[in-house]
Amino acid sequence: MKDVNILVVDDEENIRILFKEELEDEGYKVDLAENGFEAIEKVKMNKYDLVILDIKMPGIDGITTLTEIKTIKKDLPVILCSAYTEYKQDLTSWISEDYVVKSADTTELKQKIKQILGT
Amino acid sequence: MELVELISKIVDISHSNIDLDARINGILKLIQKYVEASDISIYILDKDKRLTLKYAVQNSLVTNLLSSYRPLLGEGVPGLVAQKREPHFYSIHNIPKRFGLLLQTELDNVLSNYRRFAFLPLCDESKCYGVLLVFSSVGSLFTDNEKKLFDIAARELTGLRKLGELYIYSSKRITELMTLSEIGKVLISSQDMDSILKGIGLIVAKTLGADFARVVLKEKNGDKHLLSAEYGGVSNEVKSEIKRIEKLVVEQGKRFSNIPVLENSLVYSSPIVSKGQVLGVISVVKRNDGTANSDDNGFYLLDTISNYLSSGLENIILRSQLKDIIDELNSAQERIIQQEKLRSLGEMTANIAHEIKNPLVIIGGFAKRLAKKLELKPPERRYLNIILREVGRLESILTEILTYAKDIPLNRTSVDIDEILTDLIHFFKSDPLWENVEFAKESEARLPRVFCDPQQIKQVFINILVNAYEAMAGEGKIKVRIFPKEILKKHYVGVAISDTGGGIDPLIIDNIFNPFFTTKERGTGLGLSISNKIVLSHRGKIEVENQRGVGATFIVYLPVCDDSTCVHQNDKMPRTQGEDT
Ligand SMILES: Nc1ncnc2c1ncn2[C@@H]1O[C@H](COP(=O)(O)OP(=O)(O)OP(=O)(O)O)[C@@H](O)[C@H]1O
Ligand SMILES: [Mg+2]
């Protein structure tokens, strides 16, 4: 099977580690970025199949980062991930592909990834 | 004593300023002395045209017998004297038997003790006040001097009685004016309608010496009572009698007086009429002490009072309507402040919740990984499961808080509220946990549709229904009533949800809409607060009626889409969405 590359963007190190390990268990290749700038750089440099993006981050926030990523690579799918539930209603139909509420239970996140990648 | 001296004494007494009755008695005593009369008394002519023995200086058997019978005007010697206004003099030889009255035969035996009898009218040109009786046991005929004395004494006594009546009249008039001025004070006081009516009831009862007074205001052009206030107490039987009489008063627009009812009471009931319309009724109950005749007990005051009230009350009704509007404005303002407070509280909690969420996800996430990676034995597996379960619980609380904290945009459409509730009830009925809950739904025909976000409104009813379920511990009756309602000229659909869960402790009732207020072990206390927020954002309101020991009723009012705001919002919403996409 062809490698699937996912970029996880979150300012909290342990969240990054958690997501990385959880997703690696599912057989994905996971790269990490700890803020919006790094994420944008990495998207420019590398080829990802999907980005998982935290919304509330210091520096540039998730929404700005999302807009940047989408200008660089219009078709790169992005899943927004945050503790807030409100973006769920406000932005789902906006420019990100999907939205998940950040949770210790990663089942929903994994399902969404599968859905978007069609795997 | 010389006649001239006596007469001047009589005139002196008559014009002195001692009590009227004392003056009359003083004059009688002087006459008694002069004519050596043994019995001297006065009959007073009452309103009902009967003579009543009122003054007597002696206490003889004749006096007793005379005071036991009240002759009519024209009846017997005294009645004739009063009617013809002429004095009658008799000796023992020509005195009519028993004075021509229906008196006991005992009188026959005692009359022989007397020699001379004089009956003198106490009258002026316009009116007869009574009859003066002078019986003497000596002599055979009255002398000219004595007759002269009677003439003068009668004139003075008449004057005194006249003065007495004038006095009664003016004191009545003073009471009346004082009562009206007190009522006036109540009417212009800034109290609410209820207190005003109570005040009037109190004044009326006190002034009339009544046991009970009741003031009722009628709804315009309707049978319904708008307001009523009572003073004092009567039995339920008497009260229902009063209500029956009040109904007649309203129907016929005239007063009913001296209606005897149970317990030896009399009811007086007078309509309050303004511009030909009966605004209300004022009724009084007085104990029947036998003196009741149409005029002499102050009840004429009731008519005066109700006349006076009619003009005042109309203003008050207008004023109280104005007060309702001001109250409504004030409460709207309070709501806005409350909403503002909630918003800042919401923002703060949202921030805190957000900060907690990350560490919680980390703890839970790695605990999950532990569970996945480790082959754990039963006790350790159980510990881990507990951690995971608690993390799950914390997470759902945070989710709820974070949902609460944000303003959820409304997705409004025209909604059939009845249908929403029918669906919800159907849904809960099919849940086995709810099998001991009995539902009753009652809705008025032809309910208007409501312009609202059906998802959010459904959430409101779910919260209230679940609270009802929890209050009843899963067993009881839930009544849902749906009805149209007009509040300050705006149309609403009201949904009243009543349970049999024993109601809400009055000590906490002010807090139940506050976020995080709960009395439940596993509640977040957000249910009602979210519901309130949703309903407020729909420009509706939630009211609570609490029946301690029985149950609580939550009433949700949602505005009917009947003004321009709906249309306005209706075409604004899709456009904003269109621009964003
Ligand atoms: N029908 C009711 N009868 C009696 N008490 C009630 C009723 N509804 C609400 N309450 C009281 O109001 C409190 C607040 O209710 P609310 O729905 O806001 O929170 P909760 O039910 O305690 O928790 P949550 O709904 O978030 O699970 C309740 O804890 C309860 O004490
Ligand atoms: Mg609740």
Q: Residue ranges of the domains in chain B?
A: 3-168, 187-320, 407-581
In the reported structure, the alpha carbon of residue B348 is separated from the centroid of ligand 2 by a whole-number distance in angstroms of 22
Supply the range of the domain harboring residue A64.
5-112
Q: pLDDT grade, residue A15 (50/70/90)? A: very high
pLDDT in tens, B115-156: 999 999 999 888 899 999 999 988 888 988 889 889 999 999
Give me the CATH code for the B407-581 domain, please. 3.30.565.10
Is the pLDDT assigned to residue B468 strictly greater than 70? yes
**Residue B554 structure tokens:** 């939550």
Candidates B361, B403, B405; nearest CB to A103: B361
What's at B257, amino acid-wise?
S
For the CA of B519, the nearest atom of ligand 1: 29
Decide: helix, strand or coil at residue A68.
Answer: helix
Is the pLDDT assigned to residue B90 strictly greater than 90? yes
Q: Closest residue of B to A23, CA-based? A: B369
d(CA B212, CA B206): 9
* Greater pLDDT, B579 or B430: B430
pLDDT in tens, B142-197: 988 889 889 999 999 998 888 888 887 777 777 777 878 888 887 777 677 778 88
In the reported structure, the alpha carbon of residue B463 is separated from the centroid of ligand 1 by a whole-number distance in angstroms of 9
Is the pLDDT assigned to residue A89 strictly greater than 70? no
Q: How many domains does chain A have?
A: 1
d(CA B27, CA B16): 12
- Return the closest-CA partner of residue B99 out of B77, B125, B68: B77
Is the pLDDT assigned to residue B319 strictly greater than 60? yes
Domain assignment present for A29: yes
CB within 8 Å of B327: residues ≥ 6 apart: none
Binding-site residues on chain B for chain A (CB distance < 8 A): 350, 353-354, 357-358, 360-369, 372, 388, 391-392, 395, 398-399, 402-403, 405-406, 408-409, 580-581
Instruction: Determine, for residues B398 and A56 on separate chains, whether the beta-carbon distance falls below 8 Å.
Output: no
B-chain CB neighbours of A84 within 8 Å are 350, 354, 402, 406
Q: Say if residues B527 and B541 touch (Cβ distance below 8 Å).
A: no
**What is the distance in angstroms between the Cα of A118 and the nearest Cα belonging to chain B?**
25
**What is the distance in angstroms between the Cα of A94 and the nearest Cα belonging to chain B?**
7
Residue ranges with CB less than 5 Å from ion ligand 2: B 467, 527
Q: Say if residues B262 and B238 touch (Cβ distance below 8 Å).
A: yes
Q: Say if residues B268 and B283 touch (Cβ distance below 8 Å).
A: yes
Q: pLDDT grade, residue B573 (50/70/90)? A: very low
Q: What mean pLDDT, rounded, does chain A reach?
A: 85
Quote the ipTM score: 0.85
d(CA B490, CA B575): 28
pTM: predicted TM-score of the whole model, two decimal places: 0.38
| For the CA of B517, the nearest ligand | 1
Domain assignment present for A119: no
Q: Say if residues B196 and B186 touch (Cβ distance below 8 Å).
A: yes
- To test the contact with chain B by mutation, choose from A67, A103, A106, A108 the residue with the greatest count of B C-beta atoms within 10 A, namely A103
Determine the average pLDDT of the residues in A18-24.
94
Determine the average pLDDT of the residues in B293-315.
70
d(CA B308, CA B180): 7
Tally: H helices and E strands in chain B: 14, 17
- Write down the pLDDT at residue B438: 96
- Write down the pLDDT at residue A70: 81
Cα B341 to Cα B346, B348, B544: the distances in Å are 8, 11, 21
Strands (E), chain A: 5-9, 29-33, 50-54, 78-82, 98-101
- Write down the pLDDT at residue B409: 63
Domain assignment present for A61: yes
Sign of CA dihedral B155, B160, B161, B163: positive
Q: With pLDDT > 90 as the criterion, what percentage of chain B qualifies? A: 25
What's at B89, amino acid-wise?
F
Instruction: Answer whether CATH 3.30.450.40 is correct for domain B3-168.
Output: yes
Which residues does ligand 1 sit against, CB inside 6 Å?
B 463, 467-468, 471, 499, 501, 504, 512, 517-520, 523-529, 552
Instruction: Determine, for residues A85 and B403 on separate chains, whether the beta-carbon distance falls below 8 Å.
Output: yes
Q: pLDDT grade, residue B434 (50/70/90)? A: very high
Beta bridge partners of B413: B452
Residues comprising chain A, all counted: 119
Domain assignment present for A118: no
Pairing between strand A78-82 and B450-452? unpaired
**Residue B477 structure tokens:** 């009756």
Determine the average pLDDT of the residues in B316-334.
74
pLDDT in tens, B346-390: 667 777 877 888 899 999 999 999 888 888 888 888 888 899 989
Beta bridge partners of B270: B282
- Write down the pLDDT at residue B221: 56
Q: What is the CATH number of the domain that holds A88?
A: 3.40.50.2300
CB within 8 Å of B38: residues ≥ 6 apart: B32, B58, B60, B113, B114, B135, B136, B137
d(CA B227, CA B144): 71
Tally: H helices and E strands in chain A: 5, 5
Candidates B365, B368, B402; nearest CB to A84: B402
Q: Closest residue of A to B354, CA-based? A: A83
State phi, psi for A85 to the nearest 5 degrees.
-95, -15
Is the pLDDT assigned to residue A91 strictly greater than 50? no
Decide: helix, strand or coil at residue A100.
Answer: strand
B3-168 matches B407-581 in fold: no
- Write down the pLDDT at residue B580: 33
pLDDT in tens, B229-281: 888 888 888 888 888 888 888 888 888 877 777 767 888 888 888 777 788 88
- Write down the pLDDT at residue B81: 94
In the reported structure, the alpha carbon of residue B518 is separated from the centroid of ligand 1 by a whole-number distance in angstroms of 6
DSSP track, B558-576: EEBS-SHHHHHHHHHHHHH
Question: How far is Cα of residue B580 from the mean position of the Cα atoms in its chain?
Answer: 60
What's at A68, amino acid-wise?
E
Q: Say if residues A43 and A66 touch (Cβ distance below 8 Å).
A: no
- Write down the pLDDT at residue B435: 93
**Residue A115 structure tokens:** 């859905």
Determine the average pLDDT of the residues in A20-33.
94
Q: Is B155 exposed, middle or buried (0-12, 13-18, 19+ CB in 10 A)?
A: middle
d(CA B274, CA B280): 9
Identify the CATH homologous superfamily for domain B187-320.
GAF domain (3.30.450.40)
Domain assignment present for A56: yes
d(CA A98, CA B281): 71
d(CA B467, CA B428): 13
State phi, psi for B546 to the nearest 5 degrees.
-115, 125
pLDDT in tens, B104-114: 788 888 888 89
CB within 8 Å of B77: residues ≥ 6 apart: B88, B90, B96, B99, B100, B101, B119
Domain assignment present for A18: yes
- Write down the pLDDT at residue B537: 76
A-chain CB neighbours of B350 within 8 Å are 84
